[in-house]
Amino acid sequence: MKRLALVAACLAAFGVGKPAAADDLPGRDFAIVGARVYADPAAAALDDGLVIVRNGRISAVGTSEKLAIPPGMKVISGKGRTLVAGFWNSHVHLMTHDLLHPEAADPLKLEAGLRDMFTRWGFTTVFDLTSTTASAVTLRQMIAKRALLGPQILTVGDPFFPKDGMPIYARPIYEAEHIASPEIRTTSEAVTRLDRQAQAGVNGVKLFTGAILGAEDVMVMPADQIGALVAEAHRHHLPVFAHPTNREGMAAAVENGVDVLAHATPIAGDWDAAQVRKLIDADVALVPTMMLFEVYPAESTPVSTVVQQVRALSAAGGDVLFGTDAGFMDVFDPSAEYRLMAQAMDWRHVLAALTLTPARRFGQSGERGRIEPGLAADMVLLDGDPAADLAAFAKVAMTFRAGEVLYRKD
Ligand SMILES: [Zn+2]
C-alpha cells in the first residue's frame, strides 16, 4: 500500500493531480436541480438534489429544500434523473488513423469521434493504454487549448513489447500506420525510451508481460526487463500497466512490481484465495475488460471465469477499475460491460470502479472522482438509477467536464 500512496503523492506533486488550467473557466456557472445525487459510491442518495457549479468547479451540494439557487443562475433540470461523478474508462486506445494524426485531422471530426467513443457514455477521463506518445500528447494539448472538446486524456504512449514479441493483432495496425515496432531490443535501450516518454508527458507505462503471438503462443517478458522498466517508471512516479494474458504473464507482472493488470486472465482459470491475496498484497489493481472476452469468444477464455476473477478480487477488497478496451474494440457502448460487472459486483462497487478508485489510483482524488465542493465539475446525468438497474450507467443524458457540456442526449 505504501508504495502506491507514495506514487499518488508524487503524481500530485508533479502536477498530474493538479487542476489543469482548462479546468477553471470563468462563466461556467449553473445549477443542476431535482436529480437524485450519489455524491460518491458510499454516500446515501440525495433526493431532489441541488448541485451548484461556479467557474467549472462544484461549489455546493445539497437539496433544493436546504440550498438556494443563486439569483440569475442558469438552471438545468435533473428531475427523474440521477447525477454521479464523471466516469473514468481506464483501458482505451487512441489508435484510429485520425487519432494517431490529430494535427492533420479535422478538429470537428476528431471531436465527434471522441464523443462517440467516450463522452456520450459519460467518460470524462480516459486512460489510453497504447497509441503513440507523440499523437496522444498532441491530442491532449489540442483539448487543453480548446481546439476541440474531449475528455481528460491520460496515456502510456508507446507500449513495450517483448523482443520479437509484437502481438499478432497489433502487427496490421503498426504496418498500416507505419509505426516503428515498440519492441524491447535491449533493456538499456528500453529504459532510455521510457525516460524520453516520461519527459514527453506520458502518465503511465504499459508492458506486454504476456504477449499473444498466436493461438497457443504467449511470449512472457523476462523478469529482469520488467523489473528494470518498473523501477524506472516508478522513479518517474508513473504507474505501470501490464497486459498479462496467462498465469505466467500475470505472475511476472505481479512479482516484479507492476501496478495494474489491464485485463483479467481467464485462460489461467479461476483465481483462488491465494492468487487474490497475492494481488492485494502487491497492491495490484485490475481492469477486467469483461466484454472483450464476450466479443472475442474462445473456449480457452470463458467469460464465466472472468466473472469469477472479478468477483473474487472485489469481494476480498481489491481494486477494480472500469475499462472497455474501446479503440481496440469498435464496440463503444459499455452496456455489456455493465451487464457482466453486475454478475460480479454490486452497483456501488461499479460506481467506485468508474470514479473514486481510478481517481485515487492515478493521483487525482483531490481533483475528481466525487461530487464535492472544490472538485472539478466532472459529472454525468443518467436516465434512471443504477441502484435499481445497473444498465442505467449506460443511459447517459448529459456529460459535463469541468462544467462544460460535452454531451447532451436531447
Ligand atoms: Zn487494450
Measured in angstroms, how far is the CA atom of residue 192 from the centroid of ligand 1?
24
pLDDT of residue 8: 43
User: What is the residue type of 273?
Assistant: A
Domains in the chain, ordered, with CATH?
A: 1-86+370-410 (2.30.40.10), 87-354 (3.20.20.140)
- End-to-end C-alpha distance for the chain, whole angstroms: 44
CA distance 92 to 119: 13
Rounded distance between C-alpha atoms, residue 171 and residue 60, angstroms: 50
Provide the phi-psi class of 396: left if phi over 0, else alpha when psi is between -120 and 50, else beta: beta
Alpha carbon of 160 to ligand 1 centroid (Å): 13
Residue 67 backbone zone (phi > 0: left; psi -120 to 50: alpha; other: beta): beta
Residues with CB under 5 A from ligand 1 (ion): 325, 328
pLDDT of residue 17: 39
Q: How many angstroms does the Cα of residue 44 sit away from the middle of ligand 1?
A: 35
Q: How far is the CA of 104 from the centre of ligand 1 (A)?
A: 25
What's the length of the chain? 410
215 alpha carbon – ligand 1 mean position (Å):
17
Distance in Å, CA 123 to ligand 1 centroid: 17
Alpha helices in 104-246 (DSSP H): 107-117, 133-144, 171-176, 187-200, 223-235
Burial class of 298 by CB neighbour count within 10 A (0 to 12, 13 to 18, 19+): exposed
Residue 129 alpha carbon to ligand 1 centre in Å: 6
Farthest CA pair distance, the chain? 66
Q: How many CB atoms are closer than 10 A to CB 279?
A: 22
Q: How far does the centroid of ligand 1 lie from the alpha carbon of residue 33, in Å?
A: 38
Q: What is the distance between the alpha carbons of residues 117 and 123, in angstroms, rounded to a whole number?
A: 9
Instruction: Give the pLDDT score at 16.
Output: 41
C-alpha of residue 334 to centroid of ligand 1, in Å: 15
- The three cell numbers of residue 240 are 505501470
- Per-residue pLDDT, 25: 58
Residue 36 exposure: Cα atoms within 13 Å on the Cβ side: 14
Q: Tell me which DSSP letter residue 331 carries.
A: -
Distance CA 76, CA 34 (A): 9
pLDDT at 122: 98
Q: How far apart are CA 135 and CA 99, in angstroms?
A: 7
Nearest 5°: CA angle at 383, between 378 and 385? 90
Whether the CB-CB separation of 50 and 31 falls below 8 Å is answered with yes
CA distance 178 to 167: 16
> In angstroms, what is the span from residue 253 Cα to ligand 1's centroid?
16
pLDDT score recorded for residue 7: 43
- Distance from the alpha carbon of residue 261 to the mean position of ligand 1, in angstroms: 11
Q: How far is the CA of 121 from the centre of ligand 1 (A)?
A: 18
The H-assigned helical ranges of 14-91 are none
pLDDT at 199: 98
**Alpha-carbon span 344 to 330, nearest angstrom:** 24
- Tell how far the Cα of 332 is from the centroid of ligand 1, in angstroms: 13
Question: How much distance in Å is there from the Cα of 327 to the middle of ligand 1?
Answer: 8
Ligand 1 centroid distance, CA of 50 (Å): 38
Ligand 1 centre from 64 Cα, in Å? 43
Q: How far is the CA of 319 from the centre of ligand 1 (A)?
A: 19
Beta-strand (E) ranges in 19-177? Answer: 30-37, 46-54, 57-63, 75-77, 81-85, 87-92, 123-128, 152-155
Query: Rounded CA gap, 257 and 262, in Å?
Result: 14
For residue 128, the CA-to-ligand 1 centroid distance in Å is 8
Cell numbers linked to 314:
472485489
| pLDDT at residue 410, as a whole number | 81
CA of 329 to the centre of ligand 1 (A): 8
Q: Ligand 1 mean position to 191 CA, how many Å?
A: 22
β-partners of residue 211 are 219
How many angstroms separate the alpha carbon of residue 189 from the centre of ligand 1? Answer: 24
Per-residue pLDDT of the chain (410 residues), as tens digits, is: 334 444 444 443 333 433 344 455 556 899 999 999 999 999 999 999 999 999 999 999 999 999 999 999 999 999 999 999 999 999 999 999 999 999 999 999 999 999 999 999 999 999 999 999 999 999 999 999 999 999 999 999 999 999 999 999 999 999 999 999 999 999 999 999 999 999 999 999 999 999 999 888 999 999 999 999 999 999 999 999 999 999 999 999 999 999 999 999 999 999 999 999 999 999 999 999 999 999 999 999 999 999 999 999 999 999 999 999 999 999 999 999 999 999 999 999 999 999 999 999 999 999 999 999 999 999 999 999 999 999 999 999 999 999 999 999 98
CA 92 / ligand 1 centre spacing (Å): 6
pLDDT at 245: 95
- Cα(331) to ligand 1 centroid in Å equals 13
Counting Cα atoms < 13 Å in the Cβ hemisphere of 232 gives 22
